[in-house]
């Protein structure tokens, strides 16, 4: 099954959840350009990464941890429920990060972009390499081994990195690692991020 069809099948399996962008339908071949389309609900706000960067820019050096924490704890709860729900329907999101969370106008978080999602029983056949274009900085150690293993703990790892992004106000994980290959080597050697 190609990546587009896989995304549509998994989004359909997710169904309705208040913290996951809902699939409204799909078209196998559009009249405009002949390409397939997935129609998703419209979410009007920014992605979480852009929101965090704007908060950091607005606050400058006067940012108080407690002022930001109230918003973060509410977001964390909502995102955790979305992640738990996808795990409950046997789906590994595969790209859980701040850039794939969209905020509604009333500040509800919606998980989107299921392009790398897989069923837990559909383990990847090849190693996730630093050169493969996948989000290595958010990949769990077991996905960097050969053969890779995909299970609920993989998204729990990524959720931890999402939390790190939240509390660092959108910093890139493993900021001292210049390349994805260096990130993979650090993760596999047991090195972990400092508390932001």
Quick: pLDDT tens for 157-192.
Answer: 999 999 899 888 889 999 999 999 999 999 999 999
Positive or negative: CA dihedral 65, 54, 43, 163? negative
Catalytic option among 50, 83, 95, 122: 95
Q: What tokens does 75 get?
A: 């977001």
Q: What is the per-residue pLDDT for 67? A: 47
Quick: pLDDT tens for 97-138.
Answer: 999 999 998 888 899 998 888 887 665 554 555 555 578 999
95 is catalytic: yes
Domains and CATH numbers, the chain: 3-188 (1.10.510.10)
Q: Residue 15 region, left (φ>0) first, then alpha (ψ -120 to 50), else beta?
A: left
pLDDT category of residue 71 using cuts at 50, 70 and 90: low
Quick: pLDDT tens for 75-95.
Answer: 788 788 887 788 778 888 888
The number of beta carbons lying within 10 Å of the beta carbon of residue 172 is: 12
Distant-in-sequence, close-in-space partners of 164: CB < 8 Å, separation ≥ 6: 171, 173, 193, 196
């Amino acid at each position: 099954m190609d990546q587009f069809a896989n995304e549509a099948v998994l989004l359909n399996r997710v169904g309705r959840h208040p913290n996951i962008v809902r699939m409204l339908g799909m078209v196998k071949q559009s009249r405009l350009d002949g390409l397939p389309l997935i129609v998703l609900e419209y979410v009007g706000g920014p992605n979480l990464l852009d929101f965090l960067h704007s908060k950091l820019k607005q606050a400058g050096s006067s940012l108080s941890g407690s002022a930001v924490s109230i918003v973060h704890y509410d977001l964390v709860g909502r995102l955790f429920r979305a992640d738990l729900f996808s795990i409950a329907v046997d789906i590994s999101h595969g790209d859980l990060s701040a850039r794939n969370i969209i905020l509604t106008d009333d500040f509800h978080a919606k998980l989107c972009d299921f392009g790398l999602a897989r069923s837990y029983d559909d383990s990847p056949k090849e190693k996730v390499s630093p050169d493969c274009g996948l989000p290595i900085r958010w990949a769990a150690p077991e996905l960097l081994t050969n053969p890779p293993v995909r299970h609920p703990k993989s998204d729990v790892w990524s959720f931890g990195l999402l939390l790190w992004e939240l509390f660092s106000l959108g910093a890139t994980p493993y900021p001292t690692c210049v390349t994805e290959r260096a990130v993979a080597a650090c993760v596999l050697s047991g090195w972990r991020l400092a508390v932001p």
